[in-house]
Amino acid sequence: MAVKINPKRIRKDFPIFSRERKLAYLDNAATTQKPKCVIDAEKNFYGSTNANVHRGLYKISERATEMYEKAHEKTAEFVGAGGMQEIIFTRNATESLNVVAGSIGKTLKAGDEVVLTLMEHHSNIVPWQQLQRKGVKLRYVGFGKDGKLDYNEFEQCIGKNTKVVSFVHASNVLGSINDAKKICKIAHENGAIAVVDGAQSVPHMEVDVKKMDCDFLAFSAHKMLGPMGIGILYGKEEALLKMEPFLYGGDMIKSVGKFEASWNTLPWKFEAGTPNVAGAIGFSAAIGYLENIGMQNVRKHEEEITEYALRKLSEIGGLEIYGSRNAQDRLGVISFNVEGLHPHDVAALLDEEGIAIRAGHACAQPLLAQLGVNAVCRASFYVYNTKEEVDRLCKAIGKCKSILM
Ligand code: C6P
């Protein structure tokens, strides 16, 4: 059963909040703040264990290798993967999705189809668009005014030519949580691979790759209290074994001749070159921190704060809120527009009040086109946000209206 968390207590673990005392940080969908344990883990690595991994026959290198591999194991446990062979570290979710599209793309041919949704972040559109050069066709499943995907349209879009269904688990604009298990099942029934963009879901709820039965899951450490520059690609072992590498070079090989090479075992086959060891160790600390809070409790806190924010924001006149009005259907991500005001102006004025939100197209232009707007304001929450911050947001929006209108 979920337990109530205390965001005011949690804030004390984040050095930035003791420096920026007035900051209401509401841009967590872009990146999250870092607790001291994560900052220390990265710092300690450089101060005490810095060495390259899988290469040195001396103690600190062996220790660095052990810590780096442990970070893979911890990540595997966190998402319910079969072991570290199924966890590849990349730079970010974008790179993870590029690895999948690039590698699977090598096996696709003219006439093959990739099904996406209109809710995708550009990271899950642009890599697949590149395959159109080979004659691969893209198809899109739409969503309704309530921010829900049209599951019937999935059934219509997916056919005998569909090779990949790649979709966002939770939207970075609408906050909608999609039924990933259902979509993976539809994909598999039609012989297609299911790729899940978990950049917004994994940080905020329990995600189990086995229960979901996806073939691939991409996410980023920096959106879940971890360092920037470390991304994660989970892949089912059998899928990764069949897949060609995407990047080539050191550490991903077993042997190299003048004209050919053979590949290392998993997951190293997909990790070419010197990896972000400090980042992986920092990420491991972030997972530990989130596990201490408990992912069910993270979700409960965000549901509560989202419900409160949806209610309070709806009380402000002239505000259009996008997506479902039910906090249970969505993450703590709320996009809105203030009638007559440009989102950039709203964000700039909120900043004057010490409130950080995102404004713009949120790297989801096809989604915004479906909403009929070029830009939105977006507030997004995490474990350290409070209802008082939501009150400050609402008050500041009221002030914006009185100054700008
Ligand atoms: N969305 C946002 O403000 P990277 O940048 O590679 O860590 O994550 C990419 C990404 C992929 N999928 C989804 C659903 C995302 O939301 C993001 C990142 C940020 O909404 C930065 S644009």
Q: Does residue 276 lie within any of the structural domains?
A: yes
Tell me which of 291, 324, 342 is where a domain ends: 291
119 lines ligand 1 (CB under 6 A): no
Cβ burial, residue 126 (10 Å; 0-12/13-18/19+): middle
261 and 315 housed in the same domain:
no
Q: Which amino acids are annotated catalytic? A: 363
Q: Give distance in angstroms: CA of 363 to centre of ligand 1.
A: 7
Contact yes or no for 386/7 (Cβ under 8 A): yes
Claim to verify: residue 91 and residue 201 sit in the same structural domain: yes
Mean pLDDT of 77-98: 98
Confidence of residue 56 (pLDDT cuts 50, 70, 90): confident
Tell me the residue range of the domain where 340 lies.
7-30+295-404
CATH of the domain at 238: 3.40.640.10
Q: Are residues 250 and 368 in the same domain?
A: no
The C-alpha angle with vertex 121 and arms to 185 and 281, in degrees rounded to 5, equals 85
Distance, CA 402 to ligand 1 centroid (Å)? 33
> Do 200 and 338 share a domain, yes or no?
no
Same domain assignment for residues 333 and 385: yes
> Given the CA of residue 222, which atom of ligand 1 is nearest to it?
7
> What is the reported pLDDT for 404?
78
pLDDT tens, residue by residue, 122-158: 999 999 999 999 999 999 999 999 999 999 999 899 9
What is the arithmetic mean of pLDDT over 65-93?
98
pLDDT at 405 over 80: no
Q: Check whether residue 171 and residue 44 sit in a common domain.
A: yes
**Residue at a domain's end among 291, 310, 327:** 291
- Report the number of distinct structural domains present in the chain: 2
> Which among 342, 317, 303, 299 has a CA at the least distance from the CA of 394?
317
Assess if residue 2 is contained within a domain. no
Mutation test of ligand 1: which of 26, 122, 223 has the most ligand atoms closer than 8 Å to its C-beta?
Answer: 223
Cα(23) to centroid of ligand 1, in Å?
Answer: 22
Length of the chain (residues): 405
261 and 149 in a common domain: yes
Mean pLDDT of 352-366: 98
Q: Is the pLDDT of residue 349 over 80?
A: yes
In the prediction, which pLDDT does 262 show? 97
Asked if residue 358 has its Cβ within 6 Å of ligand 1, the reply is yes
Kindly state whether residue 1 falls inside one of the protein's structural domains. no
Predicted local confidence at residue 238, as pLDDT: 97
Same domain, 208 and 258: yes
**How far is C-alpha 51 from the geometric centre of its chain's CA atoms?**
29
pLDDT tens figures, 165-216: 999 999 999 999 999 999 999 999 999 999 999 999 999 999 999 999 999 9
Mean pLDDT over residues 256-279, rounded?
98
Answer yes or no: is 247 within a domain.
Answer: yes
- Supply the residue whose CA is at minimum distance from atom 18 of ligand 1: 30
For residue 226, the model assigns a pLDDT of: 98
What dihedral angle (degrees, nearest 10) is formed by the CA atoms of 379, 298, 232, 369? -30
